[in-house]
Chain A
Amino acid sequence: MKLTGSQVLLRTMRREDVDVIFGYPGGVVLPIYDELYKEKFRHLLVRHEQGAIHAADGYARVSGKVGVCLVTSGPGATNTVTGIANAYMDSIPVVIFTGQVPTGLIGSDAFQEVDITGITRPCTKHNFLVRRIEDLASTIHEAFHIARSGRPGPVLVDLPRDVSQATIEEEDIRDDFNTLNGLEKPQQEDIAKAVEMIRAARKPVIVSGGGVLLGKASEELREFVRRTGFPITSTLMGLGAYPGSDPLWLGMPGMHGTYYANMAITGCDLLVAVGMRFDDRVTSKVDTFAPNAKIIHIDIDPVSIDRIVRSHLSIVSDAKTALGMLNAALAGGDPVPAEQTREWMDQIDAWKKRVPLRFSESTDRIKPQQVIRKLYELTKGEALIATEVGQNQMWAAQYYTYDHPHTFISSGGLGTMGFGFPAAVGAQVARPEKTVIDIAGDGSIQMNIQELATAVQYNIPVKIVILNNQYLGMVRQWQQMFYGRRYSHTDMSYAPDFVKIAEAYGATGLRASRPEELEAVLKKGLETPGVVVMDIRVEKEECVYPMVRPGASIADMDLGLELPAAETAPTNGGEDPQTRSFN
């Protein structure tokens, strides 16, 4: 039997366990769309290609599977570039199928032609231009393999129209491809060295990252913390891998990290970094990051090792294997007696008591932090939280407690405004039984607001909570702190009525402007079936605290509120941490 390229594409995707495509049709992908129609393949029509790639990305983050999007050539393809770069920075496995003009026209500036493999070369893990139908099936399999293996990432496959239309005998289809060499298991002697360092630690701290979630190693991480009794902090990308309600949890470190996480990193004598890459939002000034610590760095990507921070021991491995081996080596007895770290744990407790995460409450204005806390209460911490980028993202990271893996969906590396809502759509498709909330700002939500049509059309009941401060809040915060309160082009008070926007799209719109309205509106919004937009008018000039000035030491935090007097002497070389206000 003869199959067309389009049929080969769908057949191969089925073999790769693809159950949904996020896409947008166009000229050169018409043969593929015709086949989708005939085969009733599940496809969600987005309203902008950027929505398709973010939705595939959100779907991948929550399901642990490869997300798939399909777009046409030219502008369809270029519209996905931001989303591809986003997935690349956060190591998310997605496969992007782009249409291309027929092979004979490539290079002729044909209508809707663009060199998308050239454009996306630096922001994909790999990409392919398929020139012959004979290579189609094996290339697609290889694309999925590359996307999900090792350090995951986006892979783009460019499909010229004549390849989708060509035919091939079924028995001539080749599914095999040359596999890449897999990772070797960590050396037993490195594990032994790590155990020795762990046993010797008096002031230990664990920093976990997105790699633990990507490697599906939350159980191993929890086990590792149980065995060692070490306190743990996670980067933004790693939230949820370790339960946020556990006493050993320190919150997030870095620019908007907790006081106690940053102090613990600065004072520790052993830092165990797992599946994280020492991003500058975590380390800030590298010289003063964990200055007294021996560092064990476990990461799947050798490029991450010794790139920013030099480690004393590095283990190139996926988190699951390395932590599993460490746990086995630490089994039995009490590897790190509590007395050995007691002083340190007391110190951390003192830091926690001295400067907890806090904000000043108000009786006449809704505080954004209060909105997140209330959402946590109402959902009992069981919702999936997607965020946009900026203040909304930081408050969502700080004030919602994440107890389960794959429940926090946020653009960490690229910082893409407009990511949250389409990603929430993808997350909801992956987990239809869950409450999915997009915590948005009034700026970010307007960057992909057209996806309301997608969500309503397919009844994907995402709840959007807009922390509406009528500013581009984080940029405004920097202008307040570093640019003399000159609010250059951050005033967003000219905005649509979000309640009416919701209604116009066929969703439900709600608004809360005063603190006493907040709980009722959130409750009603969460209980209302279907898509709901909640426009929460919050304090306009609230800032995210703590804040580390860019380039400063992470121990050097602006805490926003007065720092209470020290109750115990800090242990980082005997000096009290500097705290300073930028206002």
Chain B
Amino acid sequence: MKAKENTIALLVRNRPDVLARIAGTFSGGGFNIESITANITKTPETTKIIITTKGSATTMEKLKKQLNRLVDVLSVDDLTGRMASRRELVLFRMKWNDESRSAVMAAVDLYNWKVVCMDDRYCVIEVSGRKDSIDRAIQLLDPLGLEDFSRSGMVALEKFKPE
């Protein structure tokens, strides 16, 4: 069966070992985490975790049931194929010189990116978007002096409140 990318939103109790339990459920069941983000919600007792993972529909069913079995997991929501906005944030550190600077700045202007900080040797650029546009940004910046980058992993939110 084809392994496609899936997005799962978990609402969990904000306890110190909850991430370890979720990570353990993935590793114990032989599943792989592609990306993970975790953050607070409106209520401080709960945390929202967005995980992207590859797997067939059958595998996902098994994974979701196992996550649901964890005591500290309050809900498991599969956003795959649903109307949801998906975004990633990336910071790129460019090493630039007088020659490459104008090419980098042209790209920043063209794509509406943001320069976070800069001096004569380095600049840090902030890019947000869907996974494919992030991948394209990497391709574009790589030959222009891309030294390192840091990706946030995907966050996702359903466009309408589910029933």
Contact = CB atoms under 8 A, between A and B. Distances in A.
Interface stretch (A116-124, A396-404, A435-443, A446-454): A116-124
Given A121-B17, A126-B71, A306 B24 contact: no
B68 A118 contact: no
Contact of B20 (A121, A302, A303): A121
Contacts of B24: 121-122
Given A118-B20, A125-B71, A146-B71, 4 more contacts: A118-B17, A126-B70, A302-B69, A305-B65
Contacts of A306: 61
Q: Would you list the 6 A-B pairs with minimal beta carbon distance, nearest first?
A: A126-B71, A303-B65, A302-B65, A122-B28, A121-B24, A122-B24
Interface string A246-259: 00000000000000
Given A122-B28, A306-B61, A307-B62, A301 B20 contact: no
A180 interface: yes
B95 interface: no
A230 B29 CA distance: 36
Interface residues on A, range: 10 to 19
Interface in B31-50: none
Contact of B69 (A121, A122, A129, A303): A303
A301 B17 contact: no
B66 interface: yes
Interface string B55-94: 0000001100110111110000000000000000000000
Contacts of B65: 302-303, 305
B54 interface: no
A301 B71 contact: no
B71 A180 contact: yes
Contacts, number: 27
Nearest to B68: A302
Interface string A108-142: 00000000011001100110010000000000000
B17 A117 contact: yes
A392 to B, nearest CB: 31
Contacts of B68: 302
A453 B24 CA distance: 39
Interface residues on B, range: 10 to 19
B101 interface: no
Contacts of A180: 71
Interface in A82-129: 117-118, 121-122, 125-126, 129
Main secondary structure of the interface of B (DSSP, over half): helix
A122 B66 CA distance: 12
Nearest to A305: B65
A301 B62 CA distance: 12
B28 A301 contact: no
A122 B30 CA distance: 13
A30 B71 CA distance: 31
A126 B25 CA distance: 13
Contacts of B17: 117-118, 121, 129
B66 A303 contact: yes
B71 A303 contact: no
A121 B68 CA distance: 16
A311 to B, nearest CB: 13
A126 B24 CA distance: 13
A143 B33 CA distance: 30
A303 B62 contact: yes
Contacts of A117: 17
9 contacts: A117-B17, A121-B21, A125-B71, A126-B72, A302-B68, A302-B69, A303-B62, A303-B65, A306-B61
Nearest to A155: B71
A306 B70 CA distance: 19
B21 A301 contact: no
Contacts of A146: 71
Interface in A230-270: none
Interface centre among B17, B24, B68, B70, by most chain A C-beta atoms within 10 angstroms, is B17
A301 B61 contact: no
Nearest to B25: A122
A306 B66 CA distance: 13
Interface in A285-343: 301-303, 305-307
A180 B70 CA distance: 11
Nearest to B13: A178
Interface centre among B20, B28, B66, B71, by most chain A C-beta atoms within 10 angstroms, is B71
Nearest to B21: A121
Nearest to B61: A306
Contacts of B71: 125-126, 146, 180
Contacts of A122: 24, 28
Nearest to A304: B65
Interface string B95-128: 0000000000000000000000000000000000
B137 to A, nearest CB: 38
Interface in A121-174: 121-122, 125-126, 129, 146
A428 to B, nearest CB: 32
Nearest to B27: A122
A125 B61 CA distance: 20
A125 B71 CA distance: 8
Contacts of B72: 126
A180 B69 CA distance: 11
A300 to B, nearest CB: 11
A512 B9 CA distance: 64
Interface string B138-157: 00000000000000000000
Contacts of B21: 121
A301 B69 CA distance: 8
A125 B62 CA distance: 17
A125 B72 CA distance: 11
Contacts of A129: 17
Nearest to A150: B69
A302 B64 CA distance: 10
Contacts of A303: 62, 65-66, 69
A38 B112 CA distance: 73
Nearest to B28: A122
